[in-house]
Amino acid sequence: MKPLRGRFKKEVEKSVEKYTSSIHFDKRLYRQDIAGSIAHAVMLAKQGIISDEEADTIVGALSAIREEIELSSFPMRDDLEDIHMNIEARLVEKVGEVGRKLHTARSRNDQVALDVRLYVKEAISDIIESLVGLQEALLELAEANKKEVVPGYTHLQRAQPVLLAHHLLAYFEMLQRDRERFGDCLKRADVMPLGSGALAGVPYPIDREFLAKELGFARTSENSIDAVSDRDFVIEFQAAASITMMHLSRLAEELVVWSSAEFAFVELDDAYTTGSSLMPQKKNPDVAELARGKTGRVYGNLLAILTVMKGLPLSYNRDFQEDKEGLFDSVDTVVATLEVFAGMVRTARVRGDKTRRAAEEDYMLATDVADYLVKKGVPFREAHGIVGRLAQHAIDSGKSLRELDIEQYRRFSPHFDKDVYSITIDSALKARSAVGGTAPEQVRKQLAKARKAIERARQRG
């Protein structure tokens, strides 16, 4: 008779066995499961529930099992459902009846909850490190091109000139919020559920605070029912992952557009592009395009876990088995995307001549001309209308604003004088000197602040 079949008269159908098995994906939790089991065995001995000798035997065998798994010599069995039962069965094979004592004062429900929390904590640490890596790449590109000017866009229409460094630092800020968001998620994941049993707690004198300390948790769960049925931290992780991928998808879109012949603002390195199966001249931004596509699968993982949880009564339900595949997929997708983006950004070449030329076109200094009139005492709304009509006149004349003579300016307002020609790209940039603006001095401060943020992150890491 297989494990957990004591009260049954029949063996489970093969189709059911296959349908309920999760070993093909939850085997990646082996490190967390063994770490939890070792801590549990040590605690049981400390509390006199098993002997020190029994604990030593169990711990030694679990360490050997971990090595077997890492050397790919572990006999993984699909018929044992999951990684937890596989490890327990192998333990009993190695040490006999002593191995069966490990599950004293523990349920698979709190065991699984523990493993997933340990995994999420590690995943958050890896993702935060990768976020810092991409931030650093963006900062390096910004610092290397801090004098370059690009058109700023609204509605994907050229709007006002900005420094490229200022534009790149916008993504730095997005990733900073992502780091904070994952760090906040960590607070909810950093709760130790072991000792909750199946749902009601356990009737043994266990030491949960000891377990929390051994396993590196900040605190223990307060309610045993909630502890085994809570997956809020997984949902929160998936939400944070989705927002991060949304940010990466926005950056990806700009790299796709900016690397096109129509823009030619950047050239992506050969190592981060691919060719066409038909057209030999092509250089396709496939990495960026894939990131846009992979964003959708992470969104799907968030929706999946929300849907799994929405109708579940307390406490544990087998539906929870569906929390892991999407979680693993999101972790793999986010980490891989962050890492490949860091390399792609670091090796991108900015075409400063193209970006500045684009910033000088399409009447992008019109707002500065309106501000010029405001400084002459014209109300902004009135100045806005004047310059709108002036710009339309220039368009109809096939001229830039600088190509209009002063008499043409004065047809629209007597406040115009020859000093209107002092309005340039550089003066427009310099004028945006409020904190957070694109003025060179402000951008220098932003770069310095970003560099310090990276240094602090590296020191903490």
Which residue ranges of the chain lie beneath pLDDT 50? 1
Residues 6 or more apart whose Cβ sits within 8 Å of residue 12: 2, 5, 20
Correct CATH for 17-104 of 3.40.50.10490, 1.10.150.120, 3.40.190.10, 1.10.275.10: 1.10.275.10
Residue 182 Cα to chain centre, angstroms: 8
Identify the active-site residue in 72, 73, 155, 422: 155
Whether 103 contacts 50, CB under 8 Å: no
pLDDT tens digit sequence for 404-426: 999 999 999 999 999 999 999 99
pLDDT of residue 1: 47
β partners of residue 191: 219
Question: What residue ranges of the chain are covered by domains with CATH 1.10.40.30?
Answer: 359-460
Identify the active-site residue in 51, 63, 260, 276: 276
Distances (CA, A) of 48 to 44, 205, 337, 385: 6, 9, 48, 84
Picking from 431, 413, 410, 432, the residue whose alpha carbon sits closest to that of residue 422 is: 431
d(CA 123, CA 291): 19
Three-class DSSP category at 272: helix
pLDDT of residue 308: 97
Distances (CA, A) of 355 to 152, 292, 309, 421: 10, 24, 49, 22
Three-class DSSP category at 154: strand
Question: Is 276 among the residues known to form the active site?
Answer: yes
Three-class DSSP category at 106: coil
Question: What residue ranges of the chain are covered by domains with CATH 1.20.200.10?
Answer: 109-145+163-203+225-356
Whether 150 contacts 355, CB under 8 Å: yes
- The count of other CB atoms within 10 Å of the CB of residue 324 is 21
DSSP element (H, E) containing 158: strand 157-163
Encoded tokens for 305 = 């876990």
d(CA 272, CA 116): 34
Whether 379 contacts 296, CB under 8 Å: no
Encoded tokens for 195 = 């000792």
Residues 6 or more apart whose Cβ sits within 8 Å of residue 331: 123, 126, 127, 241
Question: What residue ranges of the chain are covered by domains with CATH 1.10.275.10?
Answer: 17-104
DSSP category for residue 99: G
CATH code for residues 359-460: 1.10.40.30
Three-class DSSP category at 17: helix
CATH superfamily of 109-145+163-203+225-356: Fumarase/aspartase (Central domain) (1.20.200.10)
Start-to-end CA span in the chain (Å) = 49
Length of the chain: 461
DSSP category for residue 434: S
β partners of residue 151: 161
**pTM assigned to the model:** 0.94
